Amino acid sequence: MKKFTLFLLLFSLSFTFQITAQERAIVQGYCKDENGKAIENVSVYAHDSLLVSVTDEQGRFTYGNAKAGLKLRFAHMGFEPTYYTIKEKDINGKNLNVRMKTKSHELLEVQITANAPRIAFDNPVMTVIDYTIREDGIYLIVYRRRNSALLHLSFDLDTLHEMPISSRYKQLYKDAFGEIHAISDYGVEQLGFLELEKDKKIMMNFYNSMSRKTFYDKFSTILAASDSIFVTGRYFYYNKEMGYYRSRLGVDKEPELLHYIVDEEGRDDIWLLTHTRGGIGANFWVADPIYNPIYAIDNKFYLFAYTDHETIVFDALGNELERHPLTFHEYRKWNGKMVPDRRWKQKMMYDAARKEFYTFFVNDGIYTLKRIDLKTGTVTSVMDLSGYPFAENMRIHDGVLYFIYPTGINRRKALYRVEIEKFD
Half-sphere exposure of residue 282: CA atoms within 13 angstroms, side-chain side? 4
Where is 395: in which H helix or E strand? strand 392-397
- Mean pLDDT score of the chain: 82
Taking 90 as the threshold, does the pLDDT of residue 304 lie above it? yes
**Fold held by 25-103:** Immunoglobulin-like (2.60.40)
Q: How far apart are CA 326 and CA 338, in angstroms?
A: 13
* pLDDT at residue 390, rounded to an integer: 74
Of the pLDDT bands very low, low, confident and very high (cuts 50, 70, 90), residue 199 is low
**Does this model's pTM top 0.85?**
no
- C-alpha distances (whole Å) from 29 to each of 56, 72, 409 are 11, 12, 12
Query: Residue 238 is which amino acid?
Result: Y
Taking 50 as the threshold, does the pLDDT of residue 80 lie above it? yes
CB 387 within 8 A of CB 406: no
**Least confident window among 62-66, 67-71, 298-302:** 62-66
Of the pLDDT bands very low, low, confident and very high (cuts 50, 70, 90), residue 24 is low
Q: How far apart are CA 310 and CA 259, in angstroms?
A: 13
Sheet of 126-134, strand order: 126-134, 137-144, 147-153, 159-165
What is the arithmetic mean of pLDDT over 321-346? 87
Torsion angle (degrees, nearest 10) of CA 39, 29, 50, 415:
-40
Taking 60 as the threshold, does the pLDDT of residue 7 lie above it? no
**What one-character-per-residue DSSP string does 197-257 give?**
ETTEEEEEEEEEEEEHHHHIIIIITEEEE-SSEEEEEEEETTTTEEEEEEEETT--SPPEE
Torsion angle (degrees, nearest 10) of CA 326, 328, 331, 336:
30
- For the beta carbon of residue 156, count every other beta carbon within 10 angstroms: 7
Of the pLDDT bands very low, low, confident and very high (cuts 50, 70, 90), residue 349 is very high
Which of 260, 268, 271 is CA-nearest to residue 308? 260
Taking 60 as the threshold, does the pLDDT of residue 406 lie above it? yes
Bigger pLDDT: 1 vs 209: 209
First to last CA, the chain: 76
Q: How far apart are CA 36 and CA 375, in angstroms?
A: 48
**Least confident window among 108-117, 296-305, 402-411:** 108-117
What residue spans define the domains of the chain?
Answer: 25-103, 118-136+210-423, 137-209
| CA Rg value for the chain | 26
* pLDDT at residue 409, rounded to an integer: 59
How confident is the model over 118-173, as pLDDT tens digits?
A: 888 777 778 999 999 999 999 999 997 778 999 999 999 888 999 999 989 999 99
Q: Under 8 Å CB-to-CB from 262, ≥6 apart: which residues? A: 240, 241, 307
Bigger pLDDT: 379 vs 363: 379
* pLDDT at residue 93, rounded to an integer: 80
Of the pLDDT bands very low, low, confident and very high (cuts 50, 70, 90), residue 323 is very high
* pLDDT at residue 266, rounded to an integer: 81
CB 142 within 8 A of CB 149: yes
